[in-house]
Amino acid sequence: MLQICRAEDGHVFQANAGVRDIERTGSLELFIHQETGIDQECVLAYLPDGRRLTNANLRELSGSPSQTIFVFNKYYLDLSLEDVLRELRVEAPLQPPIEDDIAATPPFRPSTLAASYLRTAHTHREHVLNLLASVHCQNDAIRVALTSLENSVLQITDTFEGISAASRRELDKQSALLAGVDGDLTVISRVQVHTEFVSASVRAAIEAGEKPRTLGDYVSMAKMRAVATTCAETHDQLSARFGQLEEAVSQLQQGTHAVRSSVNLTNLLEDAETCSRRSQDIFDKISQSAGALEGHVPDPDGVLQELRQLDFSLRQELQFIVNVKRRTPTPTNA
């Protein structure tokens, strides 16, 4: 059985399908669209280990031990965080108050009213369990997204580190050369050119008493300074771009660390699980009290009062886990 986790809301779809079934559908995106309703062009599918799943590597799904696909919706990438949270906002699916049923169908027997409390409690308990499952699914999905992010950042940083050292050495070398331009231009005016390397006429002139030629006689100081200025400007641009790249990589690493720290916080998941345990305890008490009213009890009004209070408590737990889900990080991208 194939599980498909829709990361945007934590809904899990069960599909009795394998790799061959997906291939017969025509494409992975079409298959996921049919199962989850996400538009084909918005599908981003990942394996539990953070690897991207595509039509090209679909067979890798067969080797995945959990047979789970995590699907992210690219539609939300173009929206602001506020818009995403507004679109995915969950409301507490509370049932109508039991008192409304009482007012609509008087008179009533205590056992009938107890059955109404039990039915409502069962519905609320199912909602709590479903919400807990969705929180678990989204927690798993956000960890898959984090793994994918860390793998991508690792590739970027490895590539950058492979070129940054050589780039920094080259920029330092250029800086040193540019810093020595004035001294080099001064030196060439004092470096004599051997007569073997000058023309016959110049050699004759030197032998007739003219001053020996220097490198400065063959190099235009103005042109060399213009070339040096152009090189310095290019060097400054390259240094600035390299610095920007270093800063971008550093921010990327820091951002990834911040995301990891946020994802590793488990308080929301723990709150949801604690809420589920409390709701189960309340449901068990409602079941016990409702069962008691099937027979003779000395104080049925007292039992009904207890059921009323337990019903209120279970509604609070349902609202609590809805609030937890609203605070759960929404993994709308990978």
Q: What is the DSSP letter of 39?
A: -
Q: For residue 112, how many other CB atoms are within 10 A of its CB? A: 13
pLDDT score, position 331: 59
Q: How far apart are CA 135 and CA 117, in angstroms?
A: 27
Q: How far apart are CA 17 and CA 40, in angstroms?
A: 18
Q: How far apart are CA 152 and CA 136, in angstroms?
A: 25
Q: How far apart are CA 122 and CA 128, in angstroms?
A: 10
C-alpha distances (whole Å) from 320 to each of 11, 45, 128, 313 are 19, 31, 9, 10
Q: How far apart are CA 43 and CA 334, in angstroms?
A: 11
Q: Amino acid identity, residue 146?
A: L
Task: Give the mean pLDDT of the chain.
Answer: 88
For 247-292, write each residue's pLDDT tens digit: 999 999 999 999 898 888 878 899 999 999 999 999 999 999 988 8
For 219-237, write each residue's pLDDT tens digit: 777 888 888 899 999 999 9
Q: Give the architecture-level CATH label for domain 2-82.
A: Roll (3.10)
- The ranges assigned to domains in the chain are 2-82, 94-155+262-327, 175-259
Q: How far apart are CA 72 and CA 140, in angstroms?
A: 12
Q: For residue 27, how many other CB atoms are within 10 A of its CB? A: 15
Q: What is the mean pLDDT of residues 63-80?
A: 89
Q: pLDDT class for 100, splitting at 50, 70, 90?
A: low
The H-or-E segment that residue 177 falls in is helix 110-179
pLDDT score, position 334: 42
pLDDT score, position 103: 55
Q: What is the pTM of this model?
A: 0.77
DSSP 289-303: HHHHTTS--S-HHHH
For 114-134, write each residue's pLDDT tens digit: 889 999 999 999 999 999 999
For 154-194, write each residue's pLDDT tens digit: 999 999 998 999 999 999 999 999 988 888 778 877 788 77
Torsion 189-193-199-204 (CA) sign: positive
The H-or-E segment that residue 311 falls in is helix 300-327
Rank 33-47, 201-215, 259-273, 285-299 by mean pLDDT and report only the highest: 33-47
Q: Side by side, which strands form the sheet with 11-15?
A: 11-15, 2-6, 68-73, 43-46, 52-53
Q: What is the mean pLDDT of residues 25-34?
A: 95
